[in-house]
Structure 1
Amino acid sequence: MSLPSAIFRNDERAHQLVFDRPSGIIVAHEAEDFLPALEIAQAAHDAGKWLAGYFSYEAGYLLEPKLVPLLPGGRRAPLVCLGIFDAPVEQTVVRSHAPATNGPIFDARAAWSSEDYAKRFARLHNH
């Protein structure tokens, strides 16, 4: 498999889609490049192409006009990075007989008190 590539795996169905060797890559690092990147992605989709990749959490700021001025600076990852593919390769995955797990969580602790959480959550809903 080459890079960049993406694998979407479904262990319950013992199936995965492999996106490899993109014909193009759409990347937006800055806010002013975000909407043009979405337009390129839409054009590729309209042409029957498949898209695989990610949108960063911070890209969400650009989807809500009230939040655009709050977009954090100093980001280390692109706002969006999508590969353009003709189609994925479908593959069967060997089933594991071990029980499914998300792995252990060690020493989990809340960073906020219940009161802080309630205030911040209310602020989010009232933005």
Structure 2
Amino acid sequence: MAMIAVSLLFFAASLLFPGLGQPADSGRLEHLPIKVTVINDLTNEQISYSTTVVEEGVMFGALNQLQVDTNMKFNFKYSVHNSFGLYLESVNGLAGSDQDQTYWELLSEKAGVVTPLEAGIGCYQPERDETLILRFTTWAKK
């Protein structure tokens, strides 16, 4: 429980002090251009945003930067899972639901090839000119 509290405090502090938690030489790290595309499979809506991520930075930082860049027109919420770390809960006010069998799928598009991410928002490191796709979708009943 103490680790969760410390993690949450660190993330809250990183939102207030953007450089917190970055490498000591982060001032020399390049800001890489990326895109974030939000797709809602249920309504066929799609919106794309441009932002940057610091070289060696993670998706969580890019999403936070995007909130700042868009003056909160893009926003997201997350939770901290005890075993798996940060979990994307909602994007632009739309949350996944166990009852409705909906969730946010994390994808990457590089050179026209779309693949599922093998890491979550707290670990995935975007690359220059990559498109991160946040797709609201459903899973099939078994």
Higher relative contact order (CA 8 A, sep 6+): 1
TM-score normalised per structure 2: 0.25
Greater gyration radius: 1
The structure in which a higher percent of residues are strand is 2
TM-score, length basis structure 1: 0.27
Q: Higher helix share goes to which structure? A: 1
